[in-house]
């Protein structure tokens, strides 16, 4: 592969991570509107995954992407989907019942630190100084959105931290296992399929799953499904393969930034001076990752 082609793929990978963060960041505000029509965390997880399947299947057929799996591949996909995608969503949404959203989000965003540590300790990845600087800036920026978080219940804290661990495990698994050879559409199709089955089973067993939604709630659920289930996860998986889990995780810190900016621009919510500083810190970290990742290819 030529240097020009490598740089092009890196550029697309960085762009994919940023767009993915944008989709994930905006979706909570839309999901909140669906909650007003009868949805909840587990129901949103189910509808988000289920509604995306026909579109991912059609994309795979249109682009001639094989959806065949070997037994070993199926086992890896099931494990990563259950203990990564599904567990992360379940624990993070559940933590909101014990601690405020700001604290939960900050605790969840320990995952870039975990990804970096695991990459260094277990996979002997050499972390450049600029990646550590970008990580520190991004995490400091995320902290500015914590606000005046009251002391949380230990259960909520453990759930939020647990979600960061499982999300980090998912990112690393996509990069370090056979999943890295999958087309991003194929991987997203199977993870959504498994998550939809798991959330339906848990929802029916617990009685939490509510499909008696208002029409607007179904529409909002569909929008979230397209943004996250089709676009967000597909681009996230692509970015992990092209620029690595650690770089993708740092860029993913733009997710809370996109969420608060969307709320500011569309919903009219206010931002403090500290929040604006956080935006600058996060975008500086993302810029450092982007510039040095591309420059690395030319060195």
Instruction: Give the pLDDT confidence score for residue 148 in this predicted structure.
Output: 47
Q: Which contacts (CB < 8 Å, 24+ apart) does range 33-36 have? A: 33/216, 33/217, 33/220, 34/213, 34/216, 34/217, 34/220, 34/221, 34/224, 35/217, 36/217
Instruction: Give the pLDDT confidence score for residue 36 in this predicted structure.
Output: 87
CB contact set of 130 (below 8 Å; sequence gap of 6+): 288, 289, 292
Number of structural domains the chain divides into: 1
Instruction: Give the pLDDT confidence score for residue 28 in this predicted structure.
Output: 74
Q: How far is residue 137's CA from residue 274's CA, in Å, rounded to a whole number?
A: 14
Triad 70, 75, 76: Cα angle to 5°: 100
Q: Which residue range forms the structural domain that includes residue 175?
A: 3-298
Residues of the chain where predicted confidence (pLDDT) is lower than 50: 148-150
């Amino acid at each position: 592969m030529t240097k020009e082609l490598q740089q092009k793929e890196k550029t697309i990978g960085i762009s994919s991570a940023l767009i993915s963060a944008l989709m994930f960041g905006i979706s909570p505000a839309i999901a909140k509107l669906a909650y007003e029509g009868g949805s909840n965390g587990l129901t949103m997880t189910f509808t988000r995954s289920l509604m995306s399947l026909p579109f991912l299947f059609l994309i795979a057929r249109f682009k001639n992407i094989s959806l065949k799996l070997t037994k070993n591949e199926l086992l890896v996909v099931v494990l990563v989907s259950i203990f990564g995608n599904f567990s992360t969503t379940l624990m993070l949404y559940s933590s909101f019942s014990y601690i405020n959203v700001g604290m939960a989000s900050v605790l969840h965003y320990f995952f870039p630190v975990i990804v970096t540590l695991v990459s260094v300790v277990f996979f002997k990845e050499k972390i450049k100084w600029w990646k550590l600087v970008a990580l520190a800036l991004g995490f400091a920026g995320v902290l500015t959105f914590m606000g005046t978080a009251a002391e949380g219940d230990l259960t909520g804290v453990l759930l939020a931290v647990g979600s960061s661990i499982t999300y980090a495990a998912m990112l690393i698994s996509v990069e370090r296992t056979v999943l890295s050879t999958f087309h991003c559409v194929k991987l997203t199709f199977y993870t959504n399929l498994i998550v939809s089955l798991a959330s339906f089973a848990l929802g029916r067993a617990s009685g939490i799953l509510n499909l008696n939604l208002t029409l607007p709630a179904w529409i909002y659920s569909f929008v979230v499904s397209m943004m996250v289930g089709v676009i967000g996860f597909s681009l996230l998986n692509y970015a992990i393969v092209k620029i690595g889990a650690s770089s993708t995780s740092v860029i993913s810190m733009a997710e809370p930034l996109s969420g608060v900016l969307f709320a500011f621009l569309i919903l009219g919510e206010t931002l403090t001076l500290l929040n604006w500083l956080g935006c600058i810190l996060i975008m500086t970290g993302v810029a450092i990752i982007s510039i040095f990742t591309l420059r690395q290819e030319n060195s």
